[in-house]
Amino acid sequence: MDEAVGLPDFCRRLPKVELHAHLSGSVSETTIQKLQVKKGVGHEGLQGDTAIGKGETRHLQEPFRIFKIIQDLSDTEESIFMMTEDVISEFAADGVRYLELRSTPRHMPHTGMTPQSYVESILSAIQKCKDREDVVVRLLLAIDRRQSVETAMTTVRLAQEYMLRSPGVVVGIDLSGNPAVGDGRDFIPVLKEAQNCGLKLALHIAEISQQAVAPETSALLSLPPDRVGHGTFIHHNQDLAAVVADRKMPFEICLTSNVKAQTVASYGEHHFQHWYSRKQPCVLCTDDKGVFCTTLSEEYRLAAETFGLTRPALWDLSYSSIDHTFVGEDLKQQLRDRWNTEKEKLFLQTR
């Protein structure tokens, strides 16, 4: 049978790990419509503004404008709970069996939502989905590069608090936001504080070309982070590439996001091939499945068709992703056991 036959079905059935999913960017059109109803906002003229469709590309600044629209629609604890619940359910339906969401705590004085109640709304939705959905969910609190160092420290303090109050659910800190804004070095003391209290670090690094020569990239890599978000231009700098290779830092790879946001010219030119061929740890991710109109299954299919990956190679890529989750060894082993239980059935059903 031709290897391409049944590939989309194989990718959907494949148990998958998602490690780079921004909550607001993962909201689907269906959920956006529900948020509009709750806000009393008309449907006309908005839906096209909240996603970058198939075949479309936009400048990297465009997703950040879209995020603002979605955040304006989700400014209450109720809306945050609903969108988190929907996002988890959609990932589970796509065969994701382990999910790390990331989100920046928000303060909305006009609705009374505080950073604390924001985080608690997400955690409540995770708890509600725990028994209903077939997926393990963990949470990273995000620092936005546009924020002050003081606000970033508040986020780390929140993560420290909820790491203890919600055992095992809050696991790390993300540094993200518009890569053209600010200097990541400003946040290094905050990130070190996070490390010192046991939080893991997943940092957006070298997402745009100028960061490949910026001092902040070397400084952030020296922390070191537990995972690199995007790392799009690291391989353009021999010294940075050597640091990443020596430490075997895992890359969170977001194919469609990078192509649609025009930081990578095409799928075939994506840096995944550079690192994967050198056996650098790589984890396929969606970044913002709602904004970029993708799924994790679609990312696996694209990787297979673009880079000639066989089904066993896709399996290995998914299975090895478990190693890079921000959980303890006991849960990692439970996930490996689950993957192995499903393996034979999966390959029999999709031959």
Q: How confident is the model at residue 297 (pLDDT cuts 50, 70, 90)?
A: very high
Give the separation between CA 319 and CA 327, rounded to whole angstroms.
15
Convert the pLDDT of each residue in 86-142 to its tens digit: 999 999 999 999 999 999 999 999 999 999 999 999 999 999 999 899 999 999 999
Q: How confident is the model at residue 351 (pLDDT cuts 50, 70, 90)?
A: low
- For the beta carbon of residue 179, count every other beta carbon within 10 angstroms: 22
Top-level class of domain 7-349: alpha beta
Apex CA 21: angle with CA 236 and CA 274, to 5°?
25
The arithmetic mean of pLDDT across residues 197-224, rounded, is 94
Question: How are strands ordered across the β-sheet holding 200-205?
Answer: 16-22, 96-103, 136-144, 170-176, 200-205, 227-230, 251-253, 282-284
Percent helix, strand, coil in the chain, to 5, is 55, 15, 30
Q: How confident is the model at residue 225 (pLDDT cuts 50, 70, 90)?
A: very high
Convert the pLDDT of each residue in 1-38 to its tens digit: 344 449 999 999 999 999 999 999 999 999 998 998 98
Q: What's the longest Cα–Cα distance across the chain?
A: 60
Q: Is 207 a catalytic residue?
A: yes
Per annotation, catalytic residue among 100, 193, 207, 216: 207
Convert the pLDDT of each residue in 309-344 to its tens digit: 999 999 999 999 999 999 999 999 999 999 999 998
Question: Which of 216, 286, 259 minimizes the C-alpha distance to 11?
Answer: 286
Residue 46 has pLDDT above 60, yes or no: no
Q: Residues with Cβ < 8 Å from 127, sequence gap 6 or more?
A: none
Q: Is 61 exposed, middle or buried (0-12, 13-18, 19+ CB in 10 A)?
A: exposed
Residue 177 has pLDDT above 70, yes or no: yes
Predicted confidence at residue 285, as pLDDT, reads 98
Two tokens at 130? 């725990």
Predicted confidence at residue 72, as pLDDT, reads 85
The amino acid present at 287, given as its one-letter code, is D
Angle between helices 188-196 and 149-165 (to 10 degrees): 10
The arithmetic mean of pLDDT across residues 179-196, rounded, is 96
Domain locations along the chain: 7-349
Predicted confidence at residue 163, as pLDDT, reads 96
